[in-house]
């Protein structure tokens, strides 16, 4: 007899019973053709199914569609019954059901499987036949399959089957009372010449395959979907490439994007048919030109159009807003000078509009979008409000003001529906949306003539793709266009045939087992195999596991946890009839019900069902929307709120026993406010679905509700987020500027295998340098110790590992000694990406330098000169005094970044120097480049004391995220009062007694500087380290051996640089949760210049530079927030209370 403790331990030791795996093993859906997810099995393969009766539910599942699916009865007795043009069986007398009047069989008549009932699947079961529309349905008995010597040729080729009961062919339908003994399974594969004559895949229009046993029994092959094993531990070696190949591209690849949840089982495949990972498709560039719009239509059947001739005032003749109104966004079409007439206006208005049009970073060749500045510029009073339709002649170009969506590319597929939801004028015969692309190959939709359409009303229903002339990424296409065939059309590499491809699987994506009796689950939209509606599949799996599984305690915990992390199926895509995606979600709680709560939080956060349920999927940061649309919108707050309120800390602070803490007034103490909701909501921006793939249940080729979400760093918020305890998400993490020199060669450096594709996953290398020669890559030399470690040679052959972490510091070799930070490295024929340790950047810093795109007419920003954020730009005088620059002749790789000091050294080696260039030319020109120009960093302070960062640089266009008009405010912790505009509130302080400038729209504008100082000058206590230090540190062993000396205190180890306490000192302590913490003896204070106002510098995982956006950093931020909530004092008592309520009776 087991004790309670022994039983609990035995339950913990029991392997978990996956609901998804249980379902997939029994997934035996009928199919006669490949679809986007599966392909049918083969008659000669192990597990193929055979039947004795003629008609199945599959034959009747489209009884309303008679095209190509009719029955003919040939002969006058015996009869040959054909279906869809192919013989199915022969009968001596036609098998009418006796109680109904018979009709005369006419060989020239096409009959249909009719009415509302599927055929009953047994010999003698009923099916219905109708001779044309309006005719009565006549019941017929389902006949056995039979061909005599005179009709055998109709069944050719005939597969010779083993005898029933011989161990080769066995009855599979014992559980069916009516049909028992009429369905069979092939237990051993067949090796017969006839098998080679059969196609790899059977299509519905192909002749059926018949077989015959030695005793003369006739059977028909009953194809089922082949559900393949593609688990995280054992992924398909070719990523599903063979299925894609033999289905002529219809079946999607099944290679799963590598992530933290499945990477432990990923393999490097060299199969010639291997599908590459779908994540490689995400950043395929697609130019939105007419040719490509037509190509997308031809591939997908959708209707993308560049919309033109929209009326400037809208269909309702709304007043036209002047382009001179502050903050107003307007669009201008770029035309030849001779196609316009300059609008009359005074010199001030002309100069202001000209300046704004010229200074925008928009480089689209068809249209230009501008936002009129909120400060520092204005049209004259005579024209500020009255300008409407405007044309501006600038040089040899005309800029004509147009509708804000003129030449925007929209998906107008919605407007092609029969119910005409877009209220188009259909009186002219040809459909106005279908016709231009279908008939003329025209990528432009001319709005003129559609007087009954109110465009502004339709806009919210249509998906905007971009503007004609933009280059977008594959990931930015709408779901219905984001197909593998589209990716292949625009990719520079084919989807198959690469030499080295990283292949990954998905947890519990097991193969189906055709031998598990007759009972089998169906797939959405294939209701022809079983009598259980797919809507009940989930419940069936749950109850069977509840009855049979050995891990009962784990299943009970999973049930309770699923109620805490509830989702609502009816509000989700496919919520009524999908099964596998919901079971995949439920498996999170099965896996971790007896494990670590943090794993549940992380997996729920990245699950697409939760993201759709709580609406943070596709949420974009306010800064991204401001950059792309000119308007600011807050991030979706649903998940941030529920993550705290329902999933972790609850609404009120609790004591350890679950009772509410009370304040001095006897009132409950809230755990969070709406400020924290808005802050955390910004963490959950950029979450998008993984690319669609095959081998799981889904009828939508553009949807993937199985695989974990991806965080798109372009959409992710880049600014600091305050936390629940008076700090920031990112406190306790080391600073990126403190990374040891060449960290990629030091202990803890991590490398992740990419295969033979140099495209990184952890960060973005956008753009292709215009090199005269081949692309320059960081290829490790033959004598490199790093190359040796990554190669992992065994008997002279590299055994590449998925992930490699250095266990000690190693010496640099040749080119490695010149690199500040590695990105993608080539080792023999494969590539690795370097994964930098988690770190944060302080968003305010001194001595900032301007970084600029490859030409000065694009945007500029300020960068920390101590960080490798840009490439060098070495200058020389060009013709006419125009400053042109080139990269250092010996730069190591195209996308290389260096810090400002290294850039100076490189230029000096070429006998050049850095300058504030106009153009960068030559090889390796991509992304941002350092200039020698200083930047000013300032802040806007709103009435609440929140700040927005403002960069100022001479004679350049500043990026919208840090432009003076930006609205990206975040909380800072002021040391006392802050500058307040006296016009905003009574009692303001005149913007810091005049040290800051008042803004027209409220708030103050201040210049800042940063101070750093040591916190402790002697050995502190553990509690002092944890309460007064905010900046983390790297393992001192990562640095050179002589960098630090040790000093020991009570529970504290001090690592002293130079033997004395300073801001570089590192303290090692253990916190109350048993975590070892390394903290830097430093605090950085941001001070408003020439004033007493100051606040603590704020950390951020994300760089404010778009070019440095990295999924690596966004994931680190998400993990930091999850950890912050996990270790909050309220999480344990709150979750414990909720579980107790579901397990037992409790007070409270």
Condensed to tens digits (0 to 9), the pLDDT of residues 33-79 reads 777 788 888 999 999 999 999 998 888 765 555 566 788 899 887 89
Burial class (CB in 10 A: 0-12, 13-18, 19+), 1013: exposed
Residue 316 confidence (pLDDT) above 50: yes
> What residues have CB less than 8 Å from 775, skipping those under 6 apart?
768, 769, 894
Distance CA 472, CA 56 (A): 48
Burial 956-979 (b: 16+ CB within 10 A, else e): bbbbbbbbbbbbbbbbbebeeebb
The answer to whether the beta carbons of residues 142 and 120 sit under 8 Å apart is: yes
Closest to 753 (Cα-Cα) out of 79, 269, 49, 80: 269
- In angstroms, the first-to-last Cα distance of the chain is 34
How far apart CA 821 and CA 819 sit, in angstroms, is 6
Picking from 350-359, 390-399, 557-566, which range would have the lowest pLDDT averaged per residue?
A: 350-359
The gap from C-alpha 941 to its chain's centroid, in whole angstroms, comes to 35
Tell which residue, 439, 429, 434, 441, has the closest CA to residue 412. Answer: 434
Q: What is the mean pLDDT of residues 520-532?
A: 55
How many other CB atoms sit within 10 Å of the CB of residue 1005? 19
pLDDT, tens digit (0-9, with 9 covering 90-100), for 939-966? 999 999 999 999 998 766 788 889 888 8
pLDDT score recorded for residue 523: 65
- pLDDT of amino acid 520: 64
Do residues 218 and 156 make contact, with C-beta atoms less than 8 angstroms apart? Answer: no
Which SS3 state, helix, strand or coil, does residue 261 take? coil
Strand partners, 1045: 1056
CA angle, 84 then 90 then 91, to 5°: 125
Question: With bands split at pLDDT 50, 70 and 90, how would you rate the model's confidence at 737?
Answer: very high
- The 8-class DSSP code of residue 207 comes to P
Give the model's pLDDT for residue 495. 47
Give CA–CA dist 1066/1053, Å, rounded.
Answer: 8
> What's the rounded mean pLDDT across residues 675-703?
91
Is the per-residue pLDDT at 768 higher than 70? no
Residues 6+ apart with CB under 8 A from 836: 736, 739, 743, 744, 821, 1112
pLDDT at 920: 86
d(CA 66, CA 47) in angstroms, rounded, equals: 32
What percent of the chain shows pLDDT beyond 70?
Answer: 90
The 3-state secondary structure of 1000-1061, one letter per residue: CCCCEEEEEEEEEECCCCCCCCHHHHHHHCCCECCCHHHCCCCCEEEEECCCCEEEEECCCC
* 451 has pLDDT over 60: no
Q: With the CA atoms of 1078, 1115, 969 and 1129 taken in that order, what torsion angle do they form, in degrees rounded to the nearest 10?
A: -60
**Lowest-confidence pick of 270-279, 409-418, 885-894, 1083-1092:** 270-279
Average pLDDT, the chain: 88
Name the band, by pLDDT with cuts 50, 70 and 90, for residue 864.
Answer: very high
pLDDT at 100: 64
pLDDT of 1055 reads 97
pLDDT at 457: 65
Band of the pLDDT at 631, cuts 50, 70, 90?
Answer: confident
Outline where DSSP puts E strands in 440-535: 444-446, 463-467, 471-473, 501-503
**pLDDT tens-digit map of 1100-1137:** 999 999 888 899 999 999 999 999 999 999 999 999 99
pLDDT at 879: 39
Give the residue, 1015 or 75, on which the prediction is more confident: 1015
* Residues written for the chain: 1148
- pLDDT range class, residue 386, cuts 50, 70, 90: confident
Mean pLDDT, rounded, for 760-787: 82
* Res. 476: pLDDT tops 60: yes
Query: Is the CB of residue 724 less than 8 Å from the CB of residue 1126?
Result: no
Question: C-alpha 620: how far from its chain's center?
Answer: 12
Q: Residue 37 to residues 199, 699, 702, 1073: CA-CA distances in angstroms?
A: 19, 8, 11, 46
Q: How many CB atoms lie within 10 A of CB 491?
A: 17
Strands 919-920, 883-886: pairing kind: parallel
Neighbours of 382 (CB within 10 A): 12
Residues 6+ apart with CB under 8 A from 192: 44, 159, 160
Residue 496 pLDDT grade (very low, low, confident, very high; cuts 50, 70, 90): very low
Query: Strands 778-779 and 824-827: what pairing?
Result: parallel
Burial of 427 (0-12, 13-18, 19+ CB in 10 A): exposed
What's the CA gap between 878 and 894, in Å, rounded? Answer: 24
CB within 8 Å of 1147: residues ≥ 6 apart? none
Poorest-pLDDT segment among 75-89, 123-137, 574-588, 607-621:
123-137
Q: What pLDDT score does 279 carry? A: 55
Among the residue ranges 150-154, 474-478, 909-913, the one predicted with the least confidence is: 474-478
Cβ 848 vs Cβ 935: under 8 Å: yes
Is 609 a residue whose pLDDT tops 70? Answer: yes
Lowest mean pLDDT among 277-281, 339-343, 965-969: 277-281
Q: What is the mean pLDDT of residues 13-27?
A: 94
Distances (CA, A) of 274 to 27, 235, 702: 25, 12, 21
Percentages (nearest 5) of helix, strand, coil residues in the chain: 25, 20, 55
Give per-residue pLDDT as tens, 871-881.
Answer: 999 987 543 44
Using the 8-state DSSP alphabet, how is residue 870 labeled?
B
Write out pLDDT tens, residues 840-863.
Answer: 999 999 999 999 887 665 678 999
- Quote the percentage of the chain above a pLDDT of 90: 59
Highest mean pLDDT among 248-257, 321-330, 574-583, 602-611: 602-611
- Beta-carbon contacts of 911 under 8 Å, excluding residues fewer than 6 positions away, are none
196-241 tens-digit pLDDT: 888 888 777 789 999 999 999 999 999 888 899 999 999 999 999 8
- If we measure between CA atoms, which residue out of 839, 977, 1121, 1112 comes closest to residue 260? 1112
Q: Measuring CA to CA, how many Å separate 454 from each of 313, 451, 1136?
A: 11, 8, 55
Treating both helix axes as pointing N-terminal to C-terminal, what angle do 552-564 and 1131-1143 enclose, rounded to 10 degrees?
A: 120
Q: Which long-range CB contacts under 8 A does 418-427 form with residues at least 24 apart?
A: 421/461, 422/453, 422/458, 422/461, 423/452, 423/453, 423/454, 424/450, 424/452, 424/453, 425/449, 425/450, 425/451, 425/452, 425/453
DSSP assignments along 46-93, one per residue: TT-EEESBS--HHHHTTTT--TT-EEEEESSSSEEEEETTEEEEEESS
What pLDDT score was predicted for residue 417?
79
Phi/psi for 985 (5° steps) reads -160, 155
Phi first, then psi: give them for residue 785, nearest 5 degrees. -65, -35
Distance CA 781, CA 787 (A): 7
Q: Which stretches of 215-300 are DSSP H helices? A: 241-246, 290-300
Please classify residue 570 by burial: count the beta carbons closer than 10 Å to its beta carbon, then call 0-12 exposed, 13-18 middle and 19+ buried.
Answer: exposed
**What is the spatial distance between Cα 886 and Cα 103, in angstroms, rounded to a whole number?**
89
pLDDT above 80: residue 13: yes
């Amino acid at each position: 007899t087991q004790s309670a403790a022994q039983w609990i331990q035995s339950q913990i030791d029991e392997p978990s019973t996956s609901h998804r795996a249980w379902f997939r093993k029994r997934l035996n859906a009928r199919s006669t053709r490949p679809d986007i997810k599966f392909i049918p099995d083969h008659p000669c393969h192990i597990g193929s199914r055979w039947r004795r009766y003629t008609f199945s539910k599959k034959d009747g599942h489209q009884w309303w569609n008679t095209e190509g699916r009719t029955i003919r009865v040939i002969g006058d007795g015996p009869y040959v019954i054909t279906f869809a043009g192919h013989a199915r069986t022969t009968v001596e007398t036609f098998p009418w059901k006796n109680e109904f009047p018979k009709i005369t069989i006419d060989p020239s008549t096409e009959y249909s499987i009719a009415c509302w009932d599927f055929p009953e699947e047994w010999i003698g079961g009923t099916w219905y036949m109708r001779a044309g529309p309006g005719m009565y349905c006549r019941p017929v008995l389902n006949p056995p399959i039979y061909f005599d010597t005179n009709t055998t040729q109709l069944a050719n080729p005939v597969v010779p089957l083993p005898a029933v009961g011989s161990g080769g062919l066995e009855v599979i339908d014992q559980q069916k009372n009516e049909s028992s003994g009429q369905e069979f399974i092939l237990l051993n594969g067949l090796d017969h010449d006839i098998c080679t004559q059969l196609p790899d895949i059977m299509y519905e229009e192909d002749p059926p395959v018949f077989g015959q046993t030695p005793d003369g029994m006739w059977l028909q092959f009953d194809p089922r979907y082949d559900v393949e094993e593609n688990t995280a531990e054992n992924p398909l070696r070719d990523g599903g490439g063979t299925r894609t190949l033999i289905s002529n591209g219809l079946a999607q690849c099944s290679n799963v994007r590598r992530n933290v949840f499945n990477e432990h089982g990923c393999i490097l495949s060299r199969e010639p048919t291997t599908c590459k990972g779908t994540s490689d498709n995400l950043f395929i560039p697609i130019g939105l030109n007419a040719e490509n719009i037509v190509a997308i239509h031809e591939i997908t059947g959708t209707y993308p159009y560049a919309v033109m001739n929209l009326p400037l005032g809208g269909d309702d003749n709304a007043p036209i807003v002047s382009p001179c109104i502050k903050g107003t966004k307007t669009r201008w079409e770029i035309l030849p000078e001779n196609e316009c007439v300059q609008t009359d206006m005074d010199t001030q208005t002309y100069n202001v509009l000209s300046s704004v049009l010229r200074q925008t970073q928009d480089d689209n060749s068809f249209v230009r979008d501008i936002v009129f500045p909120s400060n520092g510029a204005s049209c004259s009073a005579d024209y500020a409000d009255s300008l409407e339709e405007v044309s501006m002649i600038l040089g040899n170009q005309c800029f004509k003001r147009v509708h804000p969506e003129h030449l925007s590319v929209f998906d107008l597929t919605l407007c092609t529906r029969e119910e005409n939801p877009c209220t188009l004028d259909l009186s002219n015969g040809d459909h106005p949306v279908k016709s231009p692309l279908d008939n003329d190959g025209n990528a432009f939709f001319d709005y003129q003539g559609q007087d009954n359409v109110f465009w502004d009303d339709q806009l919210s229903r249509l998906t905007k793709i971009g503007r004609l002339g933009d280059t977008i990424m594959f990931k930015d296409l709408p779901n219905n266009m984001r197909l593998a065939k589209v990716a292949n059309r625009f990719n520079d590499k084919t989807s198959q045939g690469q030499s080295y491809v990283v292949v990954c699987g998905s947890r519990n994506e097991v193969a189906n087992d055709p031998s598990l009796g007759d009972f089998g689950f169906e797939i959405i939209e294939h209701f022809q195999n079983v009598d259980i509606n797919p809507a009940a599949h989930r419940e069936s799996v749950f109850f069977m596991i509840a009855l049979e599984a050995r891990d009962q305690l784990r299943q009970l915990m999973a049930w309770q946890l699923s109620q805490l992390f509830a989702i609502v199926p009816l509000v989700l895509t496919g919520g009524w009839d999908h099964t596998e995606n919901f079971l995949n979600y439920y498996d999170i709680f099965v896996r971790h019900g007896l494990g670590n709560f943090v794993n549940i939080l992380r997996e729920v956060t990245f699950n697409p069902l939760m993201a759709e349920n709580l609406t943070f999927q596709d949420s974009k940061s306010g800064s991204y929307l401001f950059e792309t649309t000119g308007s600011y919108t807050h991030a979706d707050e649903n998940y941030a709120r529920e993550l705290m309120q329902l999933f972790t800390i609850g609404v009120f602070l609790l004591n350890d026993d679950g009772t509410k803490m009370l304040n001095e007034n006897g009132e409950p103490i809230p755990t969070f406010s709406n400020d924290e909701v808005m802050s955390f909501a910004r963490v959950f921006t950029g979450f998008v679905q993984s690319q669609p793939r095959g081998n799981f249940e889904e009828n939508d080729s553009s949807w993937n509700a199985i695989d974990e979400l991806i965080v798109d760093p372009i959409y992710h918020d880049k600014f600091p987020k305050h936390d629940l305890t008076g700090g920031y998400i990112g406190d306790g993490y080391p600073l990126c500027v403190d990374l040891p020199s060449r960290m990629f060669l030091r202990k803890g450096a991590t490398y992740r295998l990419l295969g033979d594709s140099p495209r990184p996953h952890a960060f973005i290398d956008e753009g292709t340098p215009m090199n005269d020669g081949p692309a320059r890559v960081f290829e490790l030399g033959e004598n490199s110790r790093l190359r040796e470690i990554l190669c992992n040679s065994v008997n002279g052959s590299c055994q590449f590992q998925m992930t490699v972490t250095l266990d000690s510091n190693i010496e640099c070799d040749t080119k490695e000694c010149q690199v500040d930070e590695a990105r993608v490295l080539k080792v023999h024929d494969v590539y690795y990406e370097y994964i930098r340790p988690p770190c944060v950047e302080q968003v305010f810093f001194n001595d900032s330098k301007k970084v600029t795109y490859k030409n000065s007419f694009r945007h500029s920003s300020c960068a920390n000169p101590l960080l490798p954020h840009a490439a060098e730009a070495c200058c020389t005088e060009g013709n006419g005094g125009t400053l042109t620059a080139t990269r250092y002749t010996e730069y190591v790789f195209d996308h290389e970044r260096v810090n400002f000091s290294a850039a100076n050294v490189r230029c000096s080696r070429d006998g050049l120097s850095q300058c504030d260039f106009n153009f960068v030319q030559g090889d390796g020109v991509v992304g941002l480049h350092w200039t020698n120009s200083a930047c000013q960093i300032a802040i806007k302070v709103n009435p609440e004391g929140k700040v927005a960062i403002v960069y100022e640089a001479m004679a350049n266009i500043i990026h919208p995220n840090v432009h003076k008009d930006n609205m990206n405010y975040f909380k800072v912790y002021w040391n006392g009062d802050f500058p307040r505009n006296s016009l905003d509130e009574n009692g303001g302080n005149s913007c810091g007694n005049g040290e800051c400038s008042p803004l027209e729209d409220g708030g103050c504008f201040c210049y800042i500087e940063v101070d750093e100082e040591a916190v402790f000058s002697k050995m502190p206590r553990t509690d002092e380290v944890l309460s007064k230090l905010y900046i983390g540190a790297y393992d001192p062993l990562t640095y050179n051996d002589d960098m630090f000396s040790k000093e020991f205190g009570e529970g504290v180890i001090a690592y002293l640089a130079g033997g004395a306490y300073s801001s570089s000192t590192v303290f090692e302590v253990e916190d109350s949760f048993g975590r070892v913490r390394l903290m830097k003896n430093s605090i950085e204070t941001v001070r408003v210049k020439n004033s007493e106002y100051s606040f603590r510098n704020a950390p951020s995982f994300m760089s404010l530079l778009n070019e440095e956006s990295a999924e690596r950093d966004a994931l680190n931020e998400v993990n930091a927030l999850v950890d912050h909530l996990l270790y909050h004092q309220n999480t344990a008592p709150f979750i414990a209370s909720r579980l107790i309520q579901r397990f037992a009776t409790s007070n409270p």
